[in-house]
């Protein structure tokens, strides 16, 4: 039986602040992935990211209450409109990443603090399309040649 090993790479850019890159698998070590160095920081990621209806839920990242994280959150307007790229890597027994990792992109929407933790909240960068988005008008200039039937009307 093989053991599942997952390394999460947290690439966070608070509004107007320096980028923070950290990972939560290689304790006490730096990890280089795609030319970027990720420092070790214990953090936990949780949340349901998509529902059957297409709406997105909140992704939550918990960090220990460390001075660096507090400074970045405070200076970055409480994690409003920050950018997060989260990558989940499968790692083999020798610590090498396996193929198949895909980055996920999020936008910050708030933070909260306690005596022991800092909680960062994120929403998916691409939310579900809903009825409030205006429809595009199809013209022959922006669509080219289309087969016409009763469901397509050109203006």
Number of independent structural domains in the chain: 1
> Which residues span the domain enclosing 31?
6-129
To the question of pTM greater than 0.85 for the whole model, the response is no
Helices then strands, each counted (H, E), the chain:
2, 9
2 or 100, greater pLDDT: 100
Q: Please check whether residue 37 lies inside any domain of the structure.
A: yes
In a domain, 55, yes or no: yes
User: 143 in a domain, yes or no?
Assistant: no
Q: Two tokens at 60?
A: 């939550």
Residue pair 120/63 in contact by the 8 Å Cβ criterion: yes
Model pLDDT, residue 40: 94
> CATH number of the domain that 70 lies in?
2.30.110
| pLDDT tens digit sequence for 10-45 | 999 988 888 989 999 999 999 999 999 999 999 999
To which H or E segment does residue 62 belong?
strand 59-64
| Residue 108 domain-assigned (yes or no) | yes
Residue 98 per-residue DSSP state:
P
Q: Which of 19, 22, 18 is nearest to 38 (CA)?
A: 22
């Amino acid at each position: 039986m093989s053991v599942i090993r997952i390394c999460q790479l947290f690439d966070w850019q608070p509004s107007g602040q320096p980028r923070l890159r950290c990972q939560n698998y290689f304790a006490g070590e730096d990890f280089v992935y795609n030319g970027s160095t990720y420092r070790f920081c214990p953090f936990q990621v949780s949340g349901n990211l998509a529902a059957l209806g297409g709406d997105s839920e909140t992704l939550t990242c918990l960090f220990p209450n460390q001075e660096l994280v507090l400074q970045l959150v405070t200076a970055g307007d409480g994690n409003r409109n920050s950018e997060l790229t989260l990558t989940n890597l499968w790692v083999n027994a020798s610590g090498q990443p396996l193929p198949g990792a895909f980055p996920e992109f999020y936008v910050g929407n708030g933070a909260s603090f306690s005596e022991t933790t800092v909680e960062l909240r994120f929403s998916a960068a691409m939310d579900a399309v809903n009825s409030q988005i205006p429809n595009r008008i199809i013209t022959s200039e922006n669509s080219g040649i289309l087969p016409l039937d009763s469901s397509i009307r050109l203006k």
